[in-house]
Amino acid sequence: MTRIFTAFLALTSLALTAQNEPLDSAIDSWHLAASQADSSTYFAFFADTQSIFQGTDATEYWTAAEFAQWAGPYFRGESAWTFTPIERRWHEHQGVKWFSERLSSSHMGLCRGTGIMIETENGWKLDHYSLSFEVPNPAVNEIVPLLHPDRIAVLEFQQELNAHYKDQEQSPLSAEDRKAFQGHEFFDYDPKFRVVAEVELTPEAEVFDMATSSGKTKKYRSYGIARFEIDGQSYALHLYESMRLKAMPEYQDHLFLPFKDVTTGTLSYGTGRFLDLTKPSAGTSLVIDFNQCYNPYCAYSDGYSCPITPIENTLNTAITAGIKGPATH
């Protein structure tokens, strides 16, 4: 009896596989269309504009129309993305077919995709597709810390900073340097450099002239002193308010934190690195994440007047976090 049942399952599986060979070919062509930047073929494979594509990021839950809009820039290149099917399994129930597949990608590694197919007047079409990473169980404990929200925030900051420097309208780089720009170099993320500081307010501090790289000065005032610990050692840095920015409603809560450390002039830029912070909405605690520090424009281009870090904001420790110095620093 067992042998008969096993044989029945095998025959059923073979029949289902043969039945779905045209669909296999269609899905393979769908993946191929992306690798060839053929947007017409790719998006025509969805049942309609309200079909769903779910990507690997939490924000990537789109209708086909939304997905097409997001993917537009990718399809304007020679290849949008490439996923090569490794295997695919089909299931069917009451006229609905769905599949699960394993995919190989040069930029995302091994992935899984699941899709729901529905029959329309134009044939079988994709109504829902979900893409995910394939994570081996032995690697879970190593991967989970990489997905911590604090680390993701740093990665997003780095991507936005790189995009800013590539943007023709915003970048301080010359056209030649912008063309050659491959992205900033950053220290590896280190959670110990994300600290919670207690801010000692300095309401009586007077406005002073902060020196800049151009020889001119800019008006600043000390908002308070941030006190924090790294590796059990206590440190303090002044937080500044720009008088020019403070006059603008959108910058009322902006704080400027320039600093130097042991890496300054060797691994990081010679006049210091910067952080933009927001005044605490309540209490006196403030998160300072040195993993999100950046360089002034003067590190990359002449013609800018950048603040020079006051000597009082020099740390006697190495902040091996955030951006590194450019090659010419």
Which pLDDT does position 329 carry in this prediction? 42
pLDDT number for residue 142: 87
Same domain, 41 and 187: no
Residues 151, 295 within the same domain:
yes
Could you tell me if residue 253 is inside a domain? yes
Residues 7 and 93 in one domain: yes
User: Does 18 share its domain with 71?
Assistant: yes
Task: Kindly state whether residue 320 falls inside one of the protein's structural domains.
Answer: no
d(CA 227, CA 182): 36
Is the CB of residue 293 less than 8 Å from the CB of residue 264?
no
User: Does 323 fall in a domain?
Assistant: no
Residue 313: pLDDT band (50, 70, 90) is very high
Query: What spatial distance separates the first Cα and last Cα of the chain, rounded to whole Å?
Result: 78
In the chain, what percentage of residues exceed pLDDT 90?
79
**241 and 127 assigned to the same domain:** no
Q: Is residue 267 pLDDT above 90, yes or no?
A: yes
Q: Is 319 inside a domain boundary?
A: no
Q: Identify which of 47-56, 178-187, 296-305 has the greatest average pLDDT.
A: 47-56
Mean of pLDDT values over 152-177: 92
Instruction: Assess whether pLDDT exceeds 70 at residue 301.
Output: yes
Residues 300, 154, single domain; the answer is yes
104: alpha, beta or left? (left if phi > 0; alpha if psi -120 to 50): beta
Q: Which of 75, 100, 134 is the last residue of a domain?
A: 134
Domain finish residue from 90, 108, 134 = 134
Residue 238 lies in a domain: yes
- Give the domain range for residue 306: 147-313
Residue 159 falls within a domain, yes or no? Answer: yes
Same domain, 163 and 96: no
pLDDT at 94 (0 to 100):
85
Residues 216 and 247 both lie in one domain: yes
Number of compact structural domains in the chain? 2
Least confident of 64-68, 114-118, 147-151: 147-151
Q: CA 239, 189, 324, 319 torsion: positive or negative? A: positive
pLDDT tens digits, one per residue of 188-211: 999 999 999 999 999 999 999 999
Q: Are residues 152 and 124 in the same domain?
A: no
Q: What is the pLDDT of residue 260?
A: 98
Contact between 174 and 181 (Cβ < 8 Å) = no
- Would strands 285-289 and 194-201 be described as parallel, antiparallel, or unpaired? antiparallel
Does residue 318 fall inside a structural domain?
Answer: no
The overall average pLDDT reported for the chain is 91
Domain stop point among 87, 110, 134: 134
In tens, the pLDDT along 238-265 reads 999 999 999 999 999 999 999 999 999 9
- For residues 61 and 187, membership in a common domain is answered with no
Residue 65 has pLDDT above 70, yes or no: yes
Q: Residue 326 domain-assigned?
A: no
Same domain membership, residue 293 and residue 222 = yes
CATH of the domain at 31: 3.10.450.50
- The answer to whether the predicted template modeling score (pTM) of the entire model surpasses 0.75 is no
Note whether 292 and 160 are same-domain residues: yes
